[in-house]
């Protein structure tokens, strides 16, 4: 088991009546630096449950301090060098608990929250294009080339 940071937003219920969450991986898809929420931390609501610290942030966007990458609240790239939207976690609900699943890459998110349509792709290392013309023009990343 590894420790990873995720940004979790409860979107309420979807139109189908299922719980909806936006769960963004906290690493920039440019070079893997830690992404930070752009917004104030609600210091009065910080909690620690077992070994997990919950820090409520009123994030309207996310930013990467390494090279200036910016993402909106849904994780779409809005500025800087990142090549795609922030990666996300799949999830399930078991016995009333949110369980994080596998990471997956995101090309783009249309809509918001429970009504979002996500262009989902297999997870890929930072710097890799997953859709659009760029994925044809720049198909290889040096870190993925072996031999």
Amino acid 107: pLDDT = 87
Architecture of domain 6-144: 3-layer Sandwich (2.102)
The domain locations on the chain are 6-144
pLDDT digit string (tens) for the chain, length 147 residues: 566 789 998 888 888 888 899 999 999 999 999 999 887 777 888 888 888 778 777 778 999 999 999 999 999 999 999 989 999 999 999 998 899 999 999 988 988 888 888 888 888 888 777 776 656 555 555 444 444
Per-residue b or e along 112-129, where b marks 16 or more CB atoms closer than 10 Å to that residue's CB: eebeeebeebebbebbbb
Amino acid 2: pLDDT = 60
Amino acid 27: pLDDT = 93
3-state SS string over 96-136? CEEEEEEEEEEEEEECCHHHCEEEEEECCCCCCCCCHHHHH
pTM over 0.75: yes
Amino acid 111: pLDDT = 86
């Amino acid at each position: 088991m590894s420790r990873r940071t995720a940004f979790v937003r409860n979107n309420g219920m979807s139109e189908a009546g299922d719980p909806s969450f936006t769960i963004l991986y906290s690493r920039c898809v440019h070079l893997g630096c830690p992404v930070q929420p752009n917004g104030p931390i609600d210091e009065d609501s910080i909690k620690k449950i077992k070994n997990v610290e919950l820090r409520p942030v009123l994030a309207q966007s996310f930013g990467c301090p390494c090279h200036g990458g910016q993402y909106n609240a849904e994780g779409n790239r809005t500025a800087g060098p990142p090549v795609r939207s922030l990666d996300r976690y799949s999830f399930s609900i078991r016995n009333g608990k949110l369980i994080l699943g596998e990471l997956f890459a995101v090309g783009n998110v249309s809509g918001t929250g429970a009504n979002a349509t996500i262009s989902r792709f297999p997870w890929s290392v930072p710097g890799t294009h997953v859709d659009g013309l760029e994925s044809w023009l720049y198909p290889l990343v040096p870190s993925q080339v072996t031999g």
